[in-house]
Amino acid sequence: MRWLEKLEEHFLSVMLAGMTLITFGQVVARYVFNYSFTWAMELTGVFSAWLIFIGMSYGVRVGAHIGIDILVRAVGPKLGRVMGIIASALCVVYALILTFGGWQYLSKIYSVGILMQDMPIPQWVPRIVLPLGFALLAFRFLGVFWKLVTGREGHLLGDEAEDALKMRDEFEEEAEA
């Protein structure tokens, strides 16, 4: 599955770079040449949506989603693991429901055949990210669920304090070198 992780990372990088370049180009065109690309704002919105919906699963994969984990820490590791299993199972169900709903929405948009407002592209094309993003999110939560059930390292939330301490240590090591 390493190829999927790399594809996901590169895709997110391209979306972010694309948004940045389009926005920069629009600013230069508007203020230097007194010209505006009619499609720039809509395309940036599409890239932003793709960044968000694909980024959700990336956040689960790297443990970057934040949450209130005081209860999980208070009950101890065994009960905390059970709570994580239940929570991840509910997240899988939630993501699958939204995948199905996104697919229904996409099929209705496809049948209507409306084009985007500023680009000659059918609206269903950029909105395919709805079922795709939620399916990828369900896949990631299923991976967390499986790791928790089998007793491997899996976790739902990132540990901000632990991450901050690691970053501090890395910064100090770089400063000493």
pLDDT in tens, 3-14: 888 888 899 999
Q: Given this model, what pLDDT does residue 97 score?
A: 97
Question: How many domains are contained in the chain?
Answer: 1
pTM as predicted: 0.78
Distance of alpha carbon 15 from the chain centroid? 12
Closest by CA position to 90, among listed 150, 136, 144, 54: 144
Q: What is the pLDDT along the chain (177 residues), one digit of tens a residue?
A: 788 888 888 999 999 999 999 999 999 998 889 888 889 899 999 999 999 999 998 888 877 666 666 676 777 778 878 888 888 899 999 999 999 999 999 999 999 988 998 889 999 999 999 999 999 999 999 988 998 888 877 565 555 556 666 777 777 787 776
Helix (H, G, I), strand (E, B) or coil at 132: helix
pLDDT per position as a tens digit, 40-65: 899 999 999 999 999 998 888 877 66
Output the six-digit token pair for 159.
């540990």
Give the Cβ contact number of residue 83 at 10 Å. 16
Q: Give whole-number Cα distances, 67 to 63, 70, 126, 154, 155, in Å.
A: 11, 9, 30, 15, 12
Alpha helices (H) in 113-159, listed in sequence order: 124-127, 129-150
Range of the domain at 168: 2-176
Q: Given this model, what pLDDT does residue 148 score?
A: 87
Give the Cβ contact number of residue 144 at 10 Å. 23
Q: Given this model, what pLDDT does residue 67 score?
A: 65
Q: Give whole-number Cα distances, 136 to 38, 41, 140, in Å.
A: 32, 27, 6
Q: Are 133 and 56 in contact (CB under 8 A)?
A: yes
Q: Given this model, what pLDDT does residue 142 score?
A: 93
Q: With left for phi above 0 and alpha for psi between -120 and 50, is residue 113 left, alpha or beta?
A: left
The tokens 């509910």 sit on which residue?
A: 90
Q: Given this model, what pLDDT does residue 65 score?
A: 67
